[in-house]
Amino acid sequence: MFFLGRHCAFDLAAAQARREDLNWKRPVFIWGLIGGLVPIFWGILGFILFNMKQSMWSDLFWSAVYLTCPPWLLPENAFSEWITPPLNGALYGGVALLIVLIRRRAGGIWMALFVGVLLTAFLAGAAYVADMFHAATLSSYLFWPNSLLQGLAPCIPLNNGKADLCEGSPTSASFP
């Protein structure tokens, strides 16, 4: 504790603790706020582009919406337009909190590996359940690494040049 004058004391350790406390709260709050604004942005842009013809650009637009705002994939109900921004904000804030926690710890790489494996297992299970309920689009978005690899793997046709049946490979042999 430093004494500054007769009646003023400054506790350096307490000030550093408050600064460290703010160092993780600020980015989590900012990313949570950004995450809450993302569905509002996509909603306004979707309203403007409502009459856009079906094309590669419209598919790209909706893929970007679903990738940056996963709560948009929830079934539509009376509360979906009100609950999507807070859910997306919580998702972005949670990811920011994980990143902050990983950066603060010495064993952060092991924590990141554990979280990644756990998240991949959870998303694979959720994609499997979604596929059981015939929600193929939701299933492909939940298990997006599989969908990405399926799109990048070449199709070797087995039916005399027709691309409806492809030769199996480790990347093309999977569920959903």
Distance CA 41, CA 150 (A): 30
Task: Tokens for 119, please give them.
Answer: 């998240």
Which pLDDT tens digits describe the chain residue by residue (176 residues)?
445 555 555 556 665 655 565 577 888 899 899 999 999 998 898 888 888 888 888 888 888 888 888 888 777 777 778 888 998 899 889 888 888 877 776 566 777 777 888 888 888 878 877 787 787 888 877 887 776 776 666 666 666 665 566 665 554 555 54
- Whether pTM > 0.85 for this model: the answer is no
* Of 135, 134, 44, nearest in space to 81 by CA: 44
| Inter-helix orientation angle 144-152/108-132, to 10° | 80
Distance CA 99, CA 31 (A): 11
SS (H, E, C) 78-146: CCHHHHHHHHHHHHHHHHHHHHHHHHHCCCHHHHHHHHHHHHHHHHHHHHHHHHHCCCHHHHHHHCHHH
Distance CA 120, CA 118 (A): 5
Q: Give the pLDDT confidence score for residue 73 in this predicted structure.
A: 76
Q: Give the pLDDT confidence score for residue 33 in this predicted structure.
A: 93
* Of 44, 78, 77, nearest in space to 61 by CA: 44
Q: Give the pLDDT confidence score for residue 117 in this predicted structure.
A: 83
Q: Give the pLDDT confidence score for residue 34 in this predicted structure.
A: 92
Q: Give the pLDDT confidence score for residue 154 in this predicted structure.
A: 67
The model's pLDDT over 45-68, given as tens digits with 9 standing for 90+, comes to: 888 888 888 888 888 888 888 888
- Give yes or no for a contact between 47 and 109, defined as CB atoms under 8 angstroms apart: no
Distance CA 60, CA 37 (A): 20
Q: Where are the domains of the chain?
A: 1-104, 108-176
